[in-house]
C-alpha cells in the first residue's frame, strides 16, 4: 500500500494510507532494516510503500521510500509543497531580519512561501499595513490573522488548498493556535510568551502532519520553533537574486557584477529603486546585513 508518514516517535512511524478507501486509519509502522544498510532513514512527509504485519504492537512495515521532492529542516521533513512563515505582530514583535533570511532559504529550496502575521487583535494597524505593503511589493502573499479569535482560516486555506504546507517560524508567535484553527481540533499545545525575555516557550517538539478534513487533499505540518535557518552555502554575490524586488532591477546597473552595496547610488539600479520607494528600507538594510554575514563566513572557509 502507498501512504504518507505523518509522525515519527521513538523509531515508530505513523502512516496514513493514500487511497481514500482506507479512510482515516493510521498505522503504526517500523522501518525495514534495509534502510540502515543504505544509511537511509524515513522522514515525516515521505510517501512510502508499506505492508501490514497483522501484529498488535506494530501494525505495519515501511518497505520503500518514494523519490522525495525535497528534504529540509531539522529534524528532517520531506515533500513540502508550500511554507507558511508565521510571525506575530506583537508579543513578541516581528523579527524582520529573521523573516528575510527564511524567505531567502525558501527561495533556495524553490518552495513557494507566504507570510502570516498573527495576533492582529493586539497589533497596531499601521504596523500590519506596513508589513503587508513591504512584502506584497516583494511578491509574497501576506495573511493577517488572529488565530486566538479564530480569524483568518478561510484566507489561509486558499493558499494551502491541495498541498502539504509547513508552518515555520520562531516560538511564541501562535503557530500551534493557528494549527488548531486550521484543523478545527485541539491538536497542538499552545504556550505563553515569557515576560522577562519576550521569547516564546516552545510547545511543538517534533514535526507532525495533520489532515484538513474539510478541504480535499490538504495537509498542514507543524514544526518545532526555531530562530535560524542555514543559508551559508549561498554566494553573497548572488544574494540579490533571492530578493524579488531587487531581482527586477537585474541588468540595469552601470557596473557589470554590481552587488548593490558600496557602488555609487547613481550607478546602482537597486539603490535608485530604493530611493524611489520601490524597495523598502528594511528589506534593503536586511539585504546588506545578510550580504555582510555571508561574505564574513566565506572569508573564514
Burial string for 79-107 (b: 16+ CB within 10 Å, else e) reads bbbbbbbbbbbbbbebebebbbbbbbbbb
**Do both 83 and 211 map to the same domain?**
yes
Task: Confirm whether 266 is domain-assigned.
Answer: yes
Task: Confirm whether 277 is domain-assigned.
Answer: yes
| The three three-digit cell numbers of residue 130, written as one number | 506596513
The structural domain count of the chain equals 3
Task: Confirm whether 71 is domain-assigned.
Answer: no
**Do both 185 and 255 map to the same domain?**
no
By residue count, the chain amounts to: 301
The separation between the first and the last C-alpha atoms of the chain, rounded to the nearest angstrom, is 47
Q: Which segment of 18-22, 215-219, 225-229, 241-245 scores lowest on mean pLDDT?
A: 225-229
Task: Confirm whether 180 is domain-assigned.
Answer: yes
Kindly report, residue by residue over 119-175, the tens digit of the pLDDT: 999 999 999 999 999 999 999 999 999 999 999 999 999 999 999 999 998 888 999
Residue 214, Cβ density class (10 Å: 0-12 exposed, 13-18 middle, ≥19 buried) = exposed
Pairing of strands 219-222, 164-168: parallel
Kindly report, residue by residue over 277-293, the tens digit of the pLDDT: 999 999 999 999 999 99
> Which residue range(s) make up the domain with 47?
2-66
Work out the pLDDT band at 24, boundaries 50, 70, 90: low
- CATH (domain of 46): 2.40.50.140
Amino acid at each position: 500500500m502507498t501512504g504518507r508518514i505523518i509522525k515519527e516517535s521513538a523509531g515508530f512511524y505513523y502512516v496514513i494510507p493514500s487511497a481514500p478507501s482506507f479512510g482515516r486509519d493510521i498505522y503504526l509502522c517500523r522501518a525495514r532494516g534495509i534502510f540502515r544498510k543504505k544509511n537511509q532513514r524515513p522522514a515525516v512527509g515521505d510517501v512510502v510503500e508499506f505492508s501490514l504485519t497483522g501484529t498488535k504492537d506494530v501494525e505495519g512495515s515501511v518497505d520503500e521510500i518514494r523519490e522525495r521532492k525535497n528534504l529540509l529542516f531539522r529534524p528532517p521533513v520531506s515533500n513540502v509543497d508550500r511554507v507558511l512563515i508565521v510571525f506575530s505582530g506583537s508579543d513578541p514583535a516581528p523579527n524582520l531580519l529573521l523573516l528575510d533570511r527564511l524567505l531567502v532559504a525558501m527561495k533556495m529550496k524553490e518552495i513557494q512561501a507566504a507570510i502570516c502575521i498573527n495576533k492582529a487583535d493586539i497589533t497596531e494597524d499601521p504596523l500590519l499595513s506596513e508589513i503587508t505593503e513591504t512584502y506584497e511589493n516583494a511578491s509574497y502573499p501576506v495573511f493577517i490573522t488572529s488565530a486566538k479569535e479564530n480569524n483568518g482560516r478561510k484566507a489561509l486555506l486558499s493558499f494551502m488548498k491541495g498541498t502539504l504546507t509547513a508552518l515555520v517560524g520562531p516560538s511564541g508567535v501562535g503557530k500551534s493556535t493557528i494549527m488548531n484553527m486550521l484543523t478545527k481540533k485541539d491538536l497542538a499545545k499552545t504556550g505563553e510568551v515569557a515576560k522577562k525575555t519576550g521569547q516564546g516557550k516552545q510547545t511543538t517538539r517534533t514535526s507532525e502532519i495533520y489532515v484538513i478534513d474539510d478541504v480535499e487533499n490538504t495537509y498542514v505540518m507543524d514544526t518545532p520553533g526555531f530562530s535560524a535557518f542555514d543559508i551559508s552555502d549561498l554566494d553573497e554575490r548572488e544574494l540579490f537574486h533571492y530578493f524579488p524586488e531587487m531581482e527586477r532591477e537585474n541588468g540595469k546597473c552601470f557596473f557589470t557584477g554590481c552587488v548593490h552595496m558600496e557602488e555609487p547610488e547613481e550607478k546602482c539600479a537597486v539603490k535608485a529603486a530604493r530611493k524611489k520607494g520601490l524597495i523598502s528600507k528594511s528589506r534593503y538594510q536586511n539585504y546588506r546585513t545578510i550580504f555582510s554575514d555571508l561574505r564574513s563566513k566565506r572569508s573564514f572557509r
